[in-house]
Amino acid sequence: MTWTEASARRLERAGLAGAPAADDPAGIAAAMCGAHAQVLSAAELSVMLRAATGGRTAVREALWTDRTLVRTHGPRGTVHLLPTADLPMWTGALSAVPSAASPLPPEARLTPDQTERILAAITDALAEAELTTDELGEAVVAATGPWAADPVMPAFQGMWPRWRQVMHRAGQSGALCFAPNRGRKVAYTSPRRALPGFRPMAGPAALAALVQRYLYAYGPATPQDFATWIGAPAGWAGELFATLAHERPRRLQQVDFEGTPAWIVAGDTEGPATDPAGVRLLPYFDAYGIACRPRDLLFPGRAGERALAGRQAGNYPLLLIDGTVAGVWHQRRSGRRIRLTVEPLTPLTTGQRRALDAQARRVGEILEGTAELTLGTVTVGPHA
């Protein structure tokens, strides 16, 4: 399979070419294998740029009213929007991924017993409640003991209490998810309030399902690619892929991908009849830029220098042309006015400029404002 063929498949399946992958935010998030949502506004753009119509309100309604989306800790422990209906698979799979060694000194770490006690306390505290971080901490300390409040974790302007070491594991295991903010304070609740009675799938079945979802969306891929995406040891991912490849019926199939052995879902060899095409604006940490590999082909030449930060993707919003990164962009808002500065790395054709104009208008629609597009140098740094 060539890079051109893989790009065409990935664009179509991500809803970035042809028809939308789904007609609702939850369906779109499922096709993306989750939308990075550390910054919720970026996630709203990620999802709705894959929809033909509608704005960020549709994502907020899916999250807080319809509860078809949940905001919680997903791949790599980072905050994602995930389909509520898929929580059994996600929590089962993420709970089965080996934990990385703690970067904290030994005296600051939690023992396995302390970890389980904190997770149980979080589960109980949020079962029927929406609590801020401070309120949740009070409940955890009351249920476990004062040791959970020891300030041992370096934070932005001080030290966090010991119990917060497991926040990402609490989300990945299904003990908590985000609730609507209470003013400026982050709040949490139980995902079981959105999906009553849900239980994580068994680890092996959940991992098999997630690997197939990932490969359908972003394959061909190597075990190392999957390990980087999910946040797991490469050796463990290699063993997982080998197991799935030898199961009967076979789940995975190996192909030659630009001279490198890589994997797809067994039998999934068909793709679009046309080459990858189209102009897209992707926000910070969009799933396409994070998950598609190899990175040298997605970010060729100057794109790797301009749009990556220390080889890390996601730090800059991306201009995507025909499935490949071809520039960066930035937005600045003032009231309803949204100024978009797009920096192409090569001159645009007349057709590409028209397509870019349409993308800028779509960004304005999603953000419920009026977009003004300028071609020029993006002068801000990553995460600006």
Question: Average pLDDT of 143-155?
Answer: 94
CA pair distance 326, 323, nearest whole angstrom: 9
The answer to whether residue 80 sits within a structural domain is no
Exposure letters 351-368 (e unless 16+ CB within 10 A, then b):
ebeebbeebbebbbbbbe
Alpha-helical segments (H) within 219-262: 223-230, 234-246
What's the confidence (pLDDT) of residue 383? Answer: 74
Question: Average pLDDT of 173-195?
Answer: 96
Q: Tell me the pairing of strands 337-344 and 370-375.
A: parallel
The answer to whether residue 347 sits within a structural domain is yes
Supply the range of the domain harboring residue 299. 279-375
Are the C-beta atoms of 255 and 220 separated by less than 8 Å?
yes
What's the confidence (pLDDT) of residue 109? Answer: 93
**Closest among 270, 269, 258, 219 to 241, alpha carbons compared:** 219
Whether the link from the prior residue into 220 is cis, omega within 30° of 0, is: yes
CA pair distance 56, 37, nearest whole angstrom: 13
What's the confidence (pLDDT) of residue 100? Answer: 82
260 burial class (0-12, 13-18, 19+ CB within 10 angstroms)?
exposed
What's the confidence (pLDDT) of residue 384? Answer: 62
Are the C-beta atoms of 318 and 304 separated by less than 8 Å?
no
CA pair distance 281, 46, nearest whole angstrom: 9
Strands (DSSP E) found in 172-218: 177-182, 185-189
What's the confidence (pLDDT) of residue 311? Answer: 80
The answer to whether residue 370 sits within a structural domain is yes
The answer to whether residue 59 sits within a structural domain is no
CA pair distance 258, 336, nearest whole angstrom: 46
Strands (DSSP E) found in the chain: 35-36, 69-73, 79-83, 131-132, 151-155, 158-161, 177-182, 185-189, 252-257, 260-265, 279-282, 318-321, 324-334, 337-344, 370-375
End-to-end CA distance of the chain: 37
CA pair distance 100, 86, nearest whole angstrom: 24
The answer to whether residue 320 sits within a structural domain is yes
Question: Average pLDDT of 13-41?
Answer: 95
Exposure letters 153-164 (e unless 16+ CB within 10 A, then b):
beeeeeebbbbb
Look at residue 190 and tell me whether its pLDDT is greater than 70. Answer: yes
DSSP 8-state secondary structure symbol assigned to residue 107: G
The answer to whether residue 321 sits within a structural domain is yes
CA pair distance 323, 344, nearest whole angstrom: 14
Look at residue 201 and tell me whether its pLDDT is greater than 90. Answer: yes
CA pair distance 22, 318, nearest whole angstrom: 22
**Residue 338 pairs with which residues in a beta bridge?**
333, 371
What's the confidence (pLDDT) of residue 172? Answer: 97
The answer to whether residue 293 sits within a structural domain is yes
- Residue 145 has phi, psi (to 5 degrees) of 140, 165
* Span 105-121, pLDDT tens digits: 999 999 999 999 999 99
**Closest among 78, 155, 152 to 114, alpha carbons compared:** 152
What's the confidence (pLDDT) of residue 256? Answer: 97
Q: The whole model's pTM is what?
A: 0.95
The answer to whether residue 336 sits within a structural domain is yes
Number of domains composing the chain: 1
* Span 334-367, pLDDT tens digits: 999 999 999 999 999 999 999 999 999 999 999 9
Quote the radius of gyration of the chain (alpha carbons, Å): 21
Question: Average pLDDT of 12-24?
Answer: 92
CA pair distance 292, 296, nearest whole angstrom: 10
